[in-house]
Structure 1
Amino acid sequence: MFLTLKSLLRLATGCALAATLTAPQAAPWTLTGAIGTHDPHLYKTSATWWLFETTDNGGIAVKYSANGTAWTQGGPIFSAGLAWWKTYLPTNKTAMVWAPGCGEYNGLGYCYYAVSSFGSQKSAIGLATSAGGIAAGQWVDQGAILSSKAGDGYNAIDPAFVLAANGDPYLVFGSFWNGIYITRVSKVNLKPPTGGLVNIARDTANGIENGFVVRRGSWYYLFASKGACCQGANSTYRIVVGRSTSITGPYTDKAGVAMMSGGGTVLASSGTRFKGPGGQSLLSDGSVMAWHAYDANNNGAPVLFIGNVTWGSDGWPQAVW
């Protein structure tokens, strides 16, 4: 997720804004506490709700909550940054991290994340793991597991982990250029093999990123963000979805338009006050979604939204606002 507007995050951090939207299809929850966020990745363990988010000043940012509504800012993972990050960051940055995708797999905590700079394909997805899970906090750097450079068809940012029906783990990633990709990763070390990348969504006219796949029944649903982020109240982000019977696609939207041809059924777009919804993530069963939107009444500060996802009798998720 491209991010250069650090001031937006600072304006929103720690505010206790009740997120009320105009004519919602399904009303988002009322949230309090540290709800300034960008690219929120939601994950729930038995006792705690976790949220991992973009930051441009201090490692992999983490929030936590006992109930999913009252949020506390925790200490970042790798707060001082890692030496290898500097290869992919602007010279004045040491710990800027984008769109982490974190959770647990076979008792191991994992956190994929991206290091890059705005508009650049000089990017890398890193991996950190924690023995004993997220709460243990024993994070160990596993280095860059996927990278991109100028001229590649993809951009190595916006990672999100998903399990196929047969238990095989996959990583979804990508932003602009040729859009969103998916690759299988090892069950042993959670790293992808060389090659094996499958392009599953493109939109050359609007741009597409933040791919997130959820499996429900015999379907895989690809959620994504289209448009421009990170421009405060001028952001044009919107959340879209398509589905496929195969984790590697092809994905089509509700009207039958292929997501490789710009398709995507809109679930959330700008309202009167809150603009540019995007950076979405869901619980693995598709029951709850988290996303950010920009508050036009607060200098365009990015704000956290969480809400239940309603699934229609036709098998499609309904609009979240």
Structure 2
Amino acid sequence: MKTTSILLSASVLLGLSCQPEPQVSTVEPDQQRSNANARVSGNVPSHDPSTIARSGSNYFVFNTGDYLPIGTSTNLVNWGGAGNVFRTIPSWINSAVPGFGTQFWAPDAAYFNGRWNVYYSCSTFGSSTSAIGLVTAPTIPTSGAQWTDRGQVVRSSSNSDVNAIDPSILVDGSSVYMAYGSFFAGIGVYRIDPSTGKPTGGRTIVAGGGGADWEAPCLIKEGSYYYLFVNRGYCCRQANSTYYIVVGRSSSPFGPFVDKNGRSLTSGGGSFVLGTQGRYIGPGQLSRIAGTQNGSVHYYDGNDNGNPKLETVRFTWSGGWPTVAYY
């Protein structure tokens, strides 16, 4: 359920490893920053950013926007534009999502099967007629001509289904999983076939449901637990946005996910993780950089008319539960 069009202009295959391309953060945690001081700088509007990917010596982030814009950085602090994934809209989208236009939503990126896999969302505001697609490349290029579109991954067409937007990809050794969903029937999880990048087996609903405000999942693993972070509240209202992030954990990527009090995320549970702090209004679309305790969110900048921006965060752990904080 996104309104970003009004906010942004601008494997295992026969034994091949699913482990990520080396992604070692060069940024060490510094002291907790004042809410008045944004860490990320640069002229790169960011809404629903992907997991930050490291390819070669550069970091990349994929954002909601026309033709799927790419941002790049060498240090996770200073960011600039790096072109777009697409030059034209893949033909399958117009039949799957009538009225789609040119603005892709809420992508995610993960390295497996010897390539970068970027999942993207296609929808129109308030509609359950949606689809998630996949585009791949051996390294992250900044020219759309070097990407290969793999077509539809999953599709939805009714309010009783999991809305096919907001993918979150977890590479767990030789296994790959996708969490996704927004409002409507809640958050679903599929196992992904590493050789194709597409679902195999059935879907499990792990959070939300009944049209409640659950969206933008982030599925990660830490130790022996899987953690599902999910946004509650509403995005896309600039300084009036009410997004906040909750979490549950499970011994399985298919749940059941429960919060610190043992309440299931399918029954309204969820332990609070991050919400509005000073200029950082309505943080959302949490992700963690593979192999690190660094991550990112978007927020609506209270010091800049509520414009959506990227900011980095760090994960810390105590008693099997996470804390997420700005640098």
| Residue 71 of structure 2 corresponds to residue 59 of structure 1 | no
* Corresponding residue for residue 251 of structure 2: 245
| Residue 155 of structure 2 corresponds to residue 155 of structure 1 | no
Instruction: Pick closer, same or farther for the CA change 1:237–1:90 going to 2, 3 Å.
Output: farther
C-alpha distance in structure 1 between counterparts of 2:44 and 2:53, whole Å: 16
Kept after mapping to 2: 8 A contact 1:61/1:76: yes
Instruction: Pick closer, same or farther for the CA change 1:229–1:269 going to 2, 3 Å.
Output: same
Instruction: Pick closer, same or farther for the CA change 1:88–1:154 going to 2, 3 Å.
Output: same
Ranges in structure 2 where 5+ consecutive residues have no aligned partner: 11-31
Residue from 316, 321, 327 that aligns with 1:316: 321
C-alpha distance in structure 2 between counterparts of 1:10 and 1:20, whole Å: 29
* Corresponding residue for residue 297 of structure 2: 291
SS at match of 1:75: strand
Residue from 176, 179, 185 that aligns with 2:186: 179
Deviations 1:65-103 (A, max 9, x none): 111111011111113322222235564x53110111112
Shift of residue 145, structure 1, vs aligned partner:
1.6
Shift of residue 282, structure 1, vs aligned partner:
1.1
Ranges in structure 1 where 5+ consecutive residues have no aligned partner: 12-18
Structure 1 stretches (4+) deviating beyond 3 angstroms?
19-23, 87-91, 203-206
What amino acid is aligned across from residue 199 of structure 1 in structure 2?
I
* Corresponding residue for residue 197 of structure 1: 203
What amino acid is aligned across from residue 287 of structure 1 in structure 2?
Q
Kept after mapping to 2: 8 A contact 1:34/1:71: yes
Instruction: Pick closer, same or farther for the CA change 1:151–1:102 going to 2, 3 Å.
Output: same
SS at match of 1:143: strand
Larger CA deviation: 153-162 vs 82-91: 82-91
Instruction: Pick closer, same or farther for the CA change 1:204–1:108 going to 2, 3 Å.
Output: same
* Corresponding residue for residue 16 of structure 2: none
% of aligned pairs identical?
35
Q: TM-score, normalised by structure 1?
A: 0.87
* Corresponding residue for residue 82 of structure 1: 90
Superposed, which structure 2 residues align to 1:1-321 within 5 Å?
Answer: 2-6=2-6, 8-10=7-9, 21-22=34-35, 30-41=39-50, 42-55=52-65, 58-89=66-97, 91=99, 94-130=101-137, 132-135=138-141, 138-164=146-172, 167-193=174-200, 196-202=202-208, 204=210, 206-285=212-291, 287-312=293-318, 314-320=319-325
Shift of residue 59, structure 1, vs aligned partner:
1.3
RMSD: 2.3
More strand by share: 2
Shift of residue 116, structure 1, vs aligned partner:
0.1
What amino acid is aligned across from residue 43 of structure 1 in structure 2?
A
Kept after mapping to 1: 8 A contact 2:141/2:147: no
C-alpha distance in structure 2 between counterparts of 1:71 and 1:126, whole Å: 26
Shift of residue 258, structure 1, vs aligned partner:
0.8
SS at match of 1:197: strand
